[in-house]
Amino acid sequence: MTQTQARSRTFSWSDPGLNAALVGRRSGLELLRAMIAGELAAPPVMHLIDMTRMEADEGRVAVELVPQEFHYNPLGTVHGGVISTLLDTAAACAVHTTLPAGVGYTSLDLNVKFLRPVTVDSGVLRCEGTVLQRGRRTALAEAKLVDARSRLVAHATSTCLLLPLDPPA
């Protein structure tokens, strides 16, 4: 058995409850844009997997991630859970951009297709989510993940359940 040099990583995050309290007071697009502008802290999951950038418009969200060794599975490629997290984030947040204050959501399903392996050599990954259909109770969105050479590496569809939130106290 060979010895490998240990690597480490640390990160910090802000209390997610502070942003959660604002969900009922701002529209989804306002909330995401405030996070992008740095007025509100990014959610802890963005720090956990090291998402680097987000863009948000009505019905569309893009997120980016630079693949790192700490994303790897035992086969030496980015773990499917990391890829799925990017796809889920882009698709669900795209739905969030269409919601008024007082309406929340939760993912009902995420159907992922992995099309090619991702490694640190893949370069910056860009994941774009778009809303395909939004009704009163559910919304359907898709997300496409491309590598630095604009090759499609994964695709997902997601259904979100739309939920009325309790009015702010």
DSSP letter (8 states) at residue 75: T
What are the residue ranges of helices labelled H in 76-139?
80-96
pLDDT at 4: 76
Cα–Cα distances in Å, from 41 out to 13, 33, 46, 89, 169? Answer: 8, 11, 10, 16, 22
pLDDT at 168: 59
Cα(142)–Cα(120) distance, integer angstroms: 25
Question: So what's the architecture of 16-164 in CATH?
Answer: Roll (3.10)
Three-class SS state of 78: strand
pLDDT at 127: 98
Model confidence over 75-118: pLDDT tens digits?
999 999 999 999 999 999 999 999 999 999 999 999 999 999 99
pLDDT at 32: 96
Domain boundaries, the chain: 16-164
Which residues of the chain have a pLDDT value below 50? none
Q: Angle at CA 121, nearest 5°, toward 94 and 117? A: 65
pLDDT at 156: 98
pLDDT at 167: 67
